[in-house]
Amino acid sequence: MPNIKLDKLTKSYGNVEVLHAIDLEMQDAEFTVLVGPSGCGKSTTLRMIAGLESVTDGEIYIDDKPVKHLEPKERDLAMVFQDYALYPHMNVAKNMSFALRLEKRPKKEIEQKINDVAEILGLTDYLYRKPAELSGGQRQRVAMGRALTRDSSTFLFDEPLSNLDAKLRTQMRAELALMRQRVRKNMIYVTHDQIEAMTLADRIVVMHGGHIQQQGTPEELFKRPANKFVAGFLGTPPMNFLSAMIEQNGEATMLVGDGFRLRCDQPTVDRLAHAKSSNIVIGIRPCDLEFDPNASDANAFDIDVVLSEYIGAQSVLIGKCSEQEFMVELKSDTPIALGERLRFSVQFSDMHFFNVDNDLALA
């Protein structure tokens, strides 16, 4: 499989630059997920790789060959679109074989290929249906099948699951993951759904405002977010952020904010040494808090419970730490009542610290 490299890729519409010199390298047979909120430039990036969108500046290399000026078909890729983009007047078999028929491949080979792919995707019974005669999930499969019938080295997915209802989306996500195990090819996948990103990706690229915020394995990004945006974007419920001040109290280094007064351990003191000012932001994931009425002040937060969302085995507690909103994930059988003030403890190793001025994480 070729490796794909973006070199200072830039896109402007008129005077508005929407993508700011993106550098990105995708490894052989890697499943790369571009994720970010709407308007972050992820789809534009994908469409530029596909050749559907012109490149304003910079270059795209596929196997070290610049492809900026090549037509989509010369780039050896297949794409699955958000709205499936099936050809409405062709039946499923014709949809899937369109590219092969254009290449004038032998009939036998085309037929074989279609049957193989239809088998994988469970479309064998629907080969002679028109797209309008299929349900959303089936159309999605046909779109996938159309990409699979071609022997392209790279697959592009543009939010392929976002038009499906929640249940079907989960199912298709699992199918995608299965397909991924079978088909070892380059895959670039765009989504705004961080769960899709976490579950499918070998590597996640988080984008925001036309910049790459961070890239790495799902675990790296979850455990060591490079900045406040990435920290808040990945993970549900989202990370809590609390403003705090670093204070020296004799020998001890304290983190002080509304409703808490933490006494830092030595590794944390070392981490805080990188802070640019004494004002910092603490990030705590809702799952990292432990209900502990007897915790000492040194690593505890007092939360006023405002609301509890029952999800099943887990509940999400929405509360306030003094005036700052705070979410906690805990077992549903934890005995709590609304309006109560509860004490939760957190390990310092589970805390994230960010500079106030540039939102960057402290190493």
Partner 1 sequence: MSNATLNRLTPYVFLAPAVVIMGLALLYPLGYMVFGSFRAWDPSQTLGESTFVGLKNYVTLWNDPNFRESAAVTLKFAFTVVVVEMFIGVGLALLLDRKLRGMSVLRTLFILPMMIAPVVVGLVWRYMYHPTLGVFNKGLKTVGLDSVDWLGQHALLSVIIADIWQWTPFIFILALAALQSLPRSALEAARIDGATGWQQIIHIKLPLMMPVLIVTGLLRLIDAFKVLEVILVMTEGGPGLSTEILALRISRTATEFRELGVAAAMSNYLLILLLMLTIVMLVYNRWVEYRATRAMRIAEENL
- Residues in contact with partner 1 by the rule CB under 8 A: 50-52, 71-73, 77-79, 81-89, 98-99, 102-103, 129-130, 132-135, 138, 146, 150
Q: List Cα–Cα distances, 66 to 229, 298, 359, in angstroms.
A: 32, 57, 35
Are 206 and 233 in contact by the 8 Å Cβ rule? The answer is: yes
The residue written with tokens 């490079």 in the block is: 226
d(CA 304, CA 323): 10
What is residue 61's three-state secondary structure?
strand
CA atoms within 13 A on the CB side of 303: 32
Is the CB of 77 or the CB of 282 nearer to partner 1?
Answer: 77
d(CA 283, CA 243): 9
DSSP string, 31-55: EEEEE-STTSSHHHHHHHHHTSS--
Q: Quickly count helices (H) and strands (E) in the chain.
A: 9, 20
Token pair of 48 as six digits: 């530029």
The angle that helices 136-149 and 107-121 make with each other, rounded to 10 degrees, is 140
The 3-class secondary structure across 197-259, one letter per residue, is HHHHCCEEEEEECCEEEEEECHHHHHHCCCEHHHHHHCCCCCCEEEEEEEEEECCEEEEEECC
Is the CB of 132 or the CB of 166 nearer to partner 1?
Answer: 132
Token pair of 285 as six digits: 């994931």
In this structure, how many other beta carbons lie within 10 angstroms of the beta carbon of residue 165?
A: 9
The residue written with tokens 């009542």 in the block is: 337
What is residue 173's three-state secondary structure?
helix
Token pair of 161 as six digits: 């699951």
d(CA 138, CA 171): 12
